[in-house]
Chain A
Amino acid sequence: EAQVTQNPRYLITVTGKKLTVTCSQNMNHEYMSWYRQDPGLGLRQIYYSMNVEVTDKGDVPEGYKVSRKEKRNFPLILESPSPNQTSLYFCASSPSKALHNYEQYFGPGTRLTVT
């Protein structure tokens, strides 16, 4: 089944404790992206990657890191989480934009709470 998977789905952690949220897609998509969803703010793009070893900042990159060492994986790293990073996180992937009209396939989400 074609899908985007995220782990963990739920995470409660404490301020300053490094964490990684994994994202993997099995559709051989070039493009991957991370978003956070907050009440009243919709979805905001954190980082995106056009292909392996190519990443760039979205609208809200502060406090986050990403890496793209393999095409299928795009982990989101919080080196020193803070309470304002409490949010619902979504990973998404997309095939070549030229062919597939920009639509993205989203994972099920990771709910992160930082205390």
Chain B
Amino acid sequence: DQQVKQNSPSLSVQEGRISILNCDYTNSMFDYFLWYKKYPAEGPTFLISISSIKDKNEDGRFTVFLNKSAKHLSLHIVPSQPGDSAVYFCASTTSGTYKYIFGTGTRLKVLA
């Protein structure tokens, strides 16, 4: 049972436009959510996170939105740049546990 789902395996976006990556979860106990970016032959790197007490968190070009009632979060990248081309993973955890559940990833390609 996949508790964290990224239903779009891939996404292509023109440079300068907005990239929107989506993530759905089923476990209502999750209260912290993170996005990681992964380039080929490298480990994932942390991008941005959000606590369930918020519905939005912004860091430069990256914004994460959380809709708790829909159990849905999204990552917005504006404007998209070719260097953003990577695989993006969302991850969820519950406070007080040390377990993380990752989605299957979305491969973003930003076209110059």
Q: Which applies to chain A's interface (DSSP): helix, strand, loop or mixed?
A: strand
Distance from B37 Cβ to chain A, minimum over Cβ atoms (Å): 11
Pairwise interchain contact B43-A108, C-beta atoms closer than 8 A = yes
Q: Which of B4, B49, B89, B105 contacts A102 (CB 8 A)?
A: B49
Bin the interface of chain A by size: 20 to 34
Q: Is A104 an interface residue (CB 8 A)?
A: yes
Q: Measured between alpha carbons, how far is A4 from B45 in the docked complex, in Å? A: 12
Q: Is A48 an interface residue (CB 8 A)?
A: yes
Pairwise interchain contact B98-A108, C-beta atoms closer than 8 A = no
Q: Which of A33, A40, A43 contacts B89 (CB 8 A)?
A: A43
Residue in chain B with minimal CB distance to A103: B46
Which A residues touch B46, using CB under 8 A? 103-105
Q: Measured between alpha carbons, how far is A90 from B91 in the docked complex, in Å? A: 15
Pairwise interchain contact B99-A58, C-beta atoms closer than 8 A = yes
Q: Which B18-77 residues sit within 8 Å CB-CB of chain A? A: 32, 34, 36, 41-46, 49, 51
15 contacts between A and B (CB under 8 A): A40-B104, A42-B4, A42-B6, A43-B44, A43-B102, A45-B100, A50-B98, A56-B98, A59-B99, A90-B44, A101-B49, A102-B93, A104-B46, A106-B44, A109-B41
* A interface, CB within 8 angstroms of B: 4, 31, 33, 35, 40-45, 48, 50, 56, 58-59, 90, 92, 97, 101-109
